Amino acid sequence: MPEDEPQESGITRKKFIIAAGLGALAVPAAVSAAAAPASARTKQGPLTPTPMCDDGDDPTPPQMEGPYFKPGSPERASLVRPGMPGTPLTVTGYVYSLSCRPVARALLDFWQADYYGRYDNYGYTLRGHQYTDASGRFTLSTIVPGLYPGRTRHIHVKVQAPYQPILTTQLYFPGEPRNRTDMLFDPALLMDVQGGPSGRAATFDFVLRVP
């Protein structure tokens, strides 16, 4: 059985969520927001958060595929099966191009170890692929992977924009003691992980080497 090591958050997500300027009241620059009618200020309400990406962001670094990749995974956004042991984990994020544009219909193929640190090499347990939506967003429902000798906790993924080269890489968890000893660990691939009453929530945005 794998070690049950504590998780820590506190790693800042590489792509911050900011409030968009869309939907703001059209008030002349010479007029302050406080001068707008109270009724208009009331109707405006909170702005909807939107993802931000900066032109020139470094592309997501690749990593080795490892020995446990298996082609032909089923298309599904949830890898969890009823009764599966492990801490629930939801990973969300966006896929961007180098020009900071969201990549729609990008392929993401995930695979990982189970709670006990084992890979299913006969079937497709904890394996699956999905596609980003029109805004480049993806959501994965899975569990926190277990540990096995020589590695820290990680999730494998292949990401591909339509008709473009494939990025093969791995995602990591902050605060893992084995991050210091895993030869493959790359802090640029750390997810932002938060705890909650029903599991953990993680975020990570990919930047692909496409225009």
Report the C-alpha gap between 24 and 27 in whole angstroms.
Answer: 9
Instruction: List the structure tokens of 187.
Output: 């802090």
Report the C-alpha gap between 132 and 80 in whole angstroms.
Answer: 19
Instruction: List the structure tokens of 168.
Output: 């093969």
| pLDDT tens per residue across span 159-198 | 999 999 999 999 999 999 999 999 999 999 999 999 988 8
State how many domains the chain has: 1
| pLDDT tens per residue across span 108-150 | 999 999 999 999 999 999 999 999 999 999 999 999 999 999 9
Tell me, what amino acid is at 16? Answer: F
- Ramachandran category for residue 126: left, alpha or beta (phi over 0 → left; psi -120 to 50 → alpha): left
**Residue 100 belongs to domain with CATH number:** 2.60.130.10
132 in any annotated domain: yes
| pLDDT tens per residue across span 29-78 | 333 344 444 444 444 455 544 556 776 579 999 999 999 999 999 999 99
69 in any annotated domain: yes
16 in any annotated domain: no
12 in any annotated domain: no
pTM for this entry: 0.76
Report the C-alpha gap between 92 and 196 in whole angstroms.
Answer: 15
45 in any annotated domain: no
110 in any annotated domain: yes
Rounded (to 5) percent helix, strand, coil in the chain: 10, 30, 65
17 in any annotated domain: no
19 in any annotated domain: no
State whether the Cα torsion 130-186-71-124 is positive or negative. Answer: negative
Domain residue limits at 130:
52-207
